[in-house]
Structures are given as C-alpha cells and as structure tokens.
Amino acid sequence: MGSTILLAASGLTPVTADSPNAERIEDLYWVLCAIAGLVLLSVAVPLVLFVFRYRSRGRDRTIEGPQIHGATRLELAWTLVPIGLLVIALAFTFYKLPGITLEAQAGERELEIRVEGRQFYWQYEYPNGAIAIDKLRAPANTLVKLVITAPDSDVQHSYWVPGLGGKFDAIPGETNDTSFKAKVGVYKGQCAEFCGTQHAAMLAEIEVIPVDEFDSWLEQEAEAQEAGDSDLGEEEFLGACTKCHGPQGEGLVGPGLSSASVSDAENVAQIVRNGRGRMPAVGEEWDDRQMDALTSYLRKRFAEEGQSGG
C-alpha cells in the first residue's frame, strides 16, 4: 500500500516516495539535509570548543586576546569548502531536476485530469466528464497528468500529496501541471497554502487502483452521473458543505441546515452558485448535473433525518 500519512513518525522526514518524481525529491531532501548537517556541525562544534577553551578565566575584560596573522590555509579552507559544498548541492539538484517532471514515453498511456482548488475542497474532472470531490481515483502504474487551477473568483490554493510529488499552486485563472505514476495504494494530501477559515479541512486523497478496475469504474461513474444515479451529490455535500455547515447540518462556521432550508432547490442553487454573506460561491460554474445531484441528495438526507428525529 502507498503512503497514508503526511509526515513520518518523527514529523521531520519525508513520507515514503511512491512515484518516480517524488523519489527524486526525497533524494534531494536527504543530500541537502546531509550537507546542511555537515555545515552545522563544522560551525557549532568548534564554536562550543572555543567558548570553553578560550574563555576569559577572570582576566580583565579590557585585555585583548592574542592577535593572529597570516592564517592563509585556514582562510582558504573556510572559503573553498563552502564553495565546494554549494557546487555539490547545485550539481546534484540539476542532475535530479529533469526527472521531477514526468513525461509520457512513446506509446505510453497518459491520463489527464483537471484539478480545481475551491474554498474548501478539491474538484476533479476526468476526460469523459465524470466529476469527483476531494477523492481522486487513478490507474496504477500509469502516467497521470494533473492540470491544477482555481476559478477566477476564488483564492489561491496549493495542491500537495507528498507521497506522489511536490506542492503545486492552484492559481485563479492560471494552470500548473504535475504528473505521477504510482502503485496501488491510498495517498493523503492537503491544501498547503492558507486559503480561509476552513483551510485545515481542505484535504486531498488519491486512491490508486488496478487499471482494469479503474477503467470500469470511470465508465460506470460517468454514466451514473449523467443519469443522476451516482454518489456525486453525497460527495459534494461532504466536500463542499459539511466543512462549514457540519456533517449533520448543525452549523460549524456557517448556519445550520434543515429540511426547510434545503427544500427549495432553486434557492439552494442560487446560494451555492453565487454565495451569500461570508459564504463563498462554492458551486460557481457547476453545471445542472452537479447542482441537481446536490439538491436531490440534500432533500433526501434531511427528509430522512426529519423522519428519524435527527
């Protein structure tokens, strides 16, 4: 299985790299960490030794210490060694950089998925028009290209699934590209740039499944969404609504929801598409299929809770 945590047990080391580009980033981390550690020790250890070895021992503070001249070898060493370390770091970085951006080889399958960062969820759009919220499914051992952006009216986000690569900004009206190729597993991520009140709840998840299973799921999901018989409405509620209104509609940083407040589909669509007060337009540019999925799910969910006394 893939990496399922954002940080290793120590909280400082990278997660296990499960994509070739992430492996190169991890290699860079360890080499630069080793160089930085060497510099730290070469400065801190002599400093501590000199503090104890050459302390004043009661001498008058006006007395100057011994004046040393002509330490040419020492001066050359502390000039050339840092330069050498920088050259090593730069050379290794430029050696690893080309592989951080994955490119499809001749005849290799490539899947392109559009990723939109929105307050406070991730929306994925597959080539066949299927939509997913927060959770992305992808085929194993296949080059997956992510085209990352945000709506013009939204704020800037940063897409980060550390087990599969680095951080990429989701900039309103602009696009950034990244790719990964991973084995079967679940990979956790999050928005890495403060984007508002519920920034901490803007998590991401990539589930990598076998190719045949993915192809079958993607075809069925597109058909189900077109027919209005999918889980898209529930995904939208959990991803775009509950982070502010609560999983039971109890109201966290937004007003509570009830069967009365969600029964008018036109009113819900107006608020979701245009926002109201401090609520952003979480469903701006949603098509009728997406909006119908949400309003149908809301009516069903809150009607059931009302009947059960929830």
DSSP 139-158: ETTSEEEEEEEB-TTS--EE
| SS3 of residue 215 by DSSP | helix
User: Are 110-227 and 232-307 the same fold in CATH?
Assistant: no
For residue 138, is pLDDT > 70? yes
**C-alpha distances in Å from residue 121, one per residue of 32, 132, 134, 168, 201:** 33, 11, 6, 15, 8
Torsion-angle region of residue 236: left (phi > 0), alpha (psi -120 to 50) or beta? alpha
Tokens 């492996």 belong to which residue?
23
| Structure-token pair, residue 155 | 């704020």
Buried b (16+ CB within 10 A) or exposed e, 47-70: eeeeeeeeeeeeeeeeeeeeeeee
Residue pLDDT, tens place only, 33-48: 999 999 999 999 999 9
Q: What share of the chain is helix, strand, coil (3-state, %, to 5)?
A: 45, 20, 40
Residue pLDDT, tens place only, 2-25: 333 444 444 667 788 888 888 888
What fold, for 110-227?
Immunoglobulin-like (2.60.40)
Would you list the domain boundaries of the chain?
Answer: 20-55+72-100, 110-227, 232-307
Residue pLDDT, tens place only, 154-170: 999 999 999 998 899 99
Work out the average pLDDT over 97-102. Answer: 80
Work out the average pLDDT over 224-229. Answer: 92
The answer to whether residues 293 and 225 touch, using CB atoms and an 8 Å cutoff, is yes
Q: Is this model's pTM higher than 0.85 or not?
A: no
Query: What is the C-alpha separation between 185 and 293, in angstroms, rounded?
Result: 29
CATH class (in words) of the domain with range 232-307: mainly alpha
**C-alpha distances in Å from residue 12, one per residue of 8, 28, 187, 281:** 7, 15, 18, 37
Query: What is the C-alpha separation between 135 and 113, in angstroms, rounded?
Result: 12
Percent of all residues in the chain with a pLDDT value above 90, rounded to a whole number: 59
Q: What is the pLDDT of residue 304?
A: 67
The answer to whether residues 165 and 19 touch, using CB atoms and an 8 Å cutoff, is yes
